[in-house]
Every structure is written in C-alpha cells, then in structure tokens.
Amino acid sequence: MATVPLKDELDIVIPTIRNLDFLEMWRPFFEQYHLIIVQDGDPSKTIKVPDGFDYELYNRNDINKILGPRASCISFKDSACRCFGYMVSKKKYIFTIDDDCFVAKDPSGKDINALEQHIKNLLCPSTPYFFNTLYDPFRDGADFVRGYPFSLREGVSTAVSHGLWLNIPDYDAPTQLVKPLERNTRYVDTVLTIPKGTLFPMCGMNLAFDRDLIGPAMYFGLMGDGQPIGRYDDMWAGWCCKVICDHLGLGIKTGLPYIYHSKASNPFVNLKKEYNGIFWQEEIIPFFQQMNLSKESTTVQKCYVEMAKQVNEKLGKIDPYFVKLADAMVTWIEAWDELNPPTKDSAKATNAASK
Ligand SMILES: O=c1ccn([C@@H]2O[C@H](COP(=O)(O)OP(=O)(O)O[C@H]3O[C@@H](CO)[C@H](O)[C@H]3O)[C@@H](O)[C@H]2O)c(=O)[nH]1
Ligand SMILES: [Mn+2]
C-alpha cells in the first residue's frame, strides 16, 4: 500500500456555494484525506459531496453556533469564509482549494498531484535571506550555487506554499476586462522562496500552510456581505503572513504546483467587489512594507494583535472599515485561541522562543 504523505496530519479546506462534483477529478489524490467544507451563502441549501470522501461540513448556522458573537469575524458571501475551516481543523497542515480548480497536466501530459507538491514544499526549508540563482536548492538535480553563504544553507522552516494556476489566471477585474480571452498556458517548472522584506499577492485558490507555524495569521478578513470590499481576503492574509513570517524567521514559497482554474468569475461583479481594494492598496502596501513588530512579539498571536493595533491606528484614517477590520482581527485571535488552546508542547515552545 503506497504511503500517503501526511495523511493524518493534513486537512483539505474547501469554501463552496456549489456542489462538489469537482472532487471526482481529485479523488486519486484527495480521497485519503479529511475534508473540511465551509458552505457559504444559504445554509438551507444542500451541498452534494461525492461518496467515499471523509468530510465535515459547516454552514453559516454551524459557524454562528460554534463561535457565538465571535462569528461576526467570519465573512459571509465571500470565499473568505474558508478561514473558519483553518480554525476548526485539528491538523498541523492545511491545503485549501477552490471548487472550480481541477487537476492540471504537466508538460509531459502527466496529471499533477498538487497536494503532494505542496507537501514537498512545506517539508523543505525556505531561503528568504539570500537568493539562489538556480532556484530551489533542495530540488533533485539542483543545489546552492557558488557564492551562496554556507551559514545560510540550512534555510528556515517553510510556513506557506503558494501554488499557481493554468488556464484562468488570477487577474483583478480591470485586467480581466481588458484581457477577457487571456489564458495562462505557461508552465514554469520551479519553486521560489519569496525573499525577506518582499510582499506578494497571495491567492487562496491553491494554497497550503503549516497551521502550527502561521495558522493564527491566516485570517481572511471581513469581506463580502455588508462589507465595502471583496476578493481581497487572500491578499490581506498574505500581507499579514509575510510580515509575520519575516519577523519570526519563517519562509513562504511560490510556484509549483499548478492547478487548472476553469471558471472566470464575472469581471463586472468583481470590479464592484474590488474597487475599494484597488484604491486602498496603494496605501495598504506601504503600511505593511514599513511595519515593524516588536521583539516582544514572539508568537503569531502576539504579532497579529500588535498588527491589528497598527491597522486601527494607521489605516483607520483611510476608512472606518479598517477600525472594524482591526477589531475583527482581535476577535479572530480570541476565537482561534478558544478553539485551539495551547498544548503543553506549544506552550513550552513559546516560552523557549520568548527567552
Ligand atoms: O460568495 C462566495 C463566492 C465563492 N465562494 C467559493 O469561493 C471559491 C472561489 O470562488 P470563484 O471561483 O467564483 O472566485 P474566483 O473569482 O475564481 O476567485 C476568487 O476567489 C478567491 C480565491 O479563492 C480570490 O478572492 C479570487 O481568486 C469557490 O470555491 C466558490 O465556491 C464562496 O464560498 N462564497
Ligand atoms: Mn475561480
């Protein structure tokens, strides 16, 4: 029986408003793993899950029941709701995928096991402090090149593995509008560590991470129903995570694996959701680029709460939305800690880190 990597240490989180027939194509790769399905929208709708999958499903009623008043921090009618799945999981690793993402083929025509590649990425160190020009030095057939400091070759733990997409690329609405027929057919065979001090636009449709290392920072914000912004859920989480990973000495990788993204959402609907984000991000990005976290912030939770305070103080001036978002970030941490009380080991690790 082939070993299934991290079978009992990884959950697959899927946000959905549709039936999950897409799982049929992923069955050979996903069937051995536990799924956490976060049903968005109308909780009275029944979501059909193909037979043979081991899953738990949460709709809005479940979220309200489990979190009580703190459910206000979980978005409604936006894929941001998926972060509830990260919070209720009890596993060390998470892989999250959209329900319009299918198995892609590599240039040789072989089906890509995206989950296996994410696991490889997460179990291999990252190299954020010095760029290796031959790309991923831990890859078979590659290594650190001449001039790469030996003191840096051990690398750091990898917290996030960010995969890419063939066919429909993750473009913003304006780009989608001017290039409606553009399809990504380019398969770039590499995995890169995103250098320390550099932000990136994290897309949530093909993403894996280590919950123990960065889980509490994977909050996808206040988006969708009742909010002035949408489709910036994954971006926000990615900016928060990258600043915290840089502060705590963790790595984030992007590149392989590819999935096949099949559905282009409506660019006009997307433009309405994204409008404020496109405008505000010109101030949000410098805010994250200039952010300093104190040395007392030795855990993700402490970093995140310190970050929320700065969001309130510095971004609150842009729009009252950021005051609400800062409060929701703290609520998220409170809910996370309530559902994930520190174990003896993690408490020991935190004490060691704070010395
Ligand atoms: O209100 C909603 C809408 C969608 N979902 C689920 O979320 C994912 C993504 O939905 P969709 O594929 O329609 O969205 P895209 O425009 O392709 O991608 C955006 O979603 C984020 C990436 O995940 C990011 O903001 C954009 O890339 C599907 O599983 C839907 O079922 C939802 O839960 N609620
Ligand atoms: Mn999609």
Residue 281 lies in a domain: yes
Rounded Cα–Cα distance for residues 4 and 215 (Å): 23
Q: Cα 115–116–122 angle (5° rounding)?
A: 90
Distance 208 CA to ligand 2 centre (A): 17
Distance 247 CA to ligand 1 centre (A): 30
86: buried, middle or exposed (CB in 10 Å: 19+, 13-18, 0-12)? buried
Q: Return phi, psi of residue 36, to 5°.
A: -120, 110
Amino acid identity for residue 114 in this structure: A
The residue nearest atom 32 of ligand 1, judged by CA position, is 79
DSSP at 314: I
Q: Are 206 and 257 in contact (CB under 8 A)?
A: yes
Residue 5 lies in a domain: no
For the CA of 79, the nearest ligand: 1
Residue 108 lies in a domain: yes
For the CA of 98, the nearest ligand: 1
- Coil, helix or strand for 255? strand
Residue 288 lies in a domain: yes
Rounded Cα–Cα distance for residues 182 and 352 (Å): 50
**Encoding tokens for residue 335?**
């809910």
**Encoding tokens for residue 109?**
């025509």
CATH number at residue 329: 3.90.550
- Residue from 49, 78, 162, 205 whose mutation best tests the ligand 1 pocket (most atoms within 8 A of CB): 205
- Coil, helix or strand for 229? coil
Residue 212 lies in a domain: yes
The residue nearest atom 13 of ligand 1, judged by CA position, is 265
What does pTM read for this prediction?
Answer: 0.96
Q: Are 193 and 253 in contact (CB under 8 A)?
A: yes
Distance 14 CA to ligand 1 centre (A): 10
Distance 163 CA to ligand 2 centre (A): 14
Q: From residue 106, give the alpha-carbon distance in Å to each of 15, 30, 111, 114, 302.
A: 26, 19, 7, 11, 41
- Coil, helix or strand for 332? helix
**Encoding tokens for residue 153?**
């070759």
For the CA of 163, the nearest ligand: 1
Nearest to 196 by CA among 246, 236, 162: 246
Rounded Cα–Cα distance for residues 65 and 62 (Å): 5
Residue 122 lies in a domain: yes
Residue 352 lies in a domain: no
Distance 115 CA to ligand 1 centre (A): 19
ipTM tops 0.95:
yes
Residue 1 lies in a domain: no
Which residue in the block uniquely carries the two structure tokens 């880190």?
353
Nearest to 87 by CA among 114, 52, 62: 62
Distance 176 CA to ligand 2 centre (A): 13
Rounded Cα–Cα distance for residues 146 and 142 (Å): 12
What total number of domains does the chain contain? 1
Q: What is the pLDDT along the chain (355 residues), one digit of tens a residue?
A: 567 889 999 999 999 999 999 999 999 999 999 999 999 999 999 999 999 999 999 999 999 999 999 999 999 999 999 999 999 999 999 999 999 999 999 999 999 999 999 999 999 999 999 999 999 999 999 999 999 999 999 999 999 999 999 999 999 999 999 999 999 999 999 999 999 999 999 999 999 999 999 999 999 999 999 999 999 999 999 999 999 999 999 999 999 999 999 988 899 999 999 999 999 999 999 999 999 999 999 999 999 999 999 999 999 999 999 999 999 999 999 999 999 998 776 665 555 555 5
Rounded Cα–Cα distance for residues 218 and 224 (Å): 17
Q: Which domain holds residue 170?
A: 10-340
Q: Looking at the CA of residue 232, tell me the nearest atom of ligand 1.
A: 25
Q: In the structure, which protein residues have their CB atom closer than 6 angstroms to any atom of ligand 1? A: 15-18, 40, 77-79, 81, 98-100, 170, 203-205, 224, 231, 233-234, 263, 265
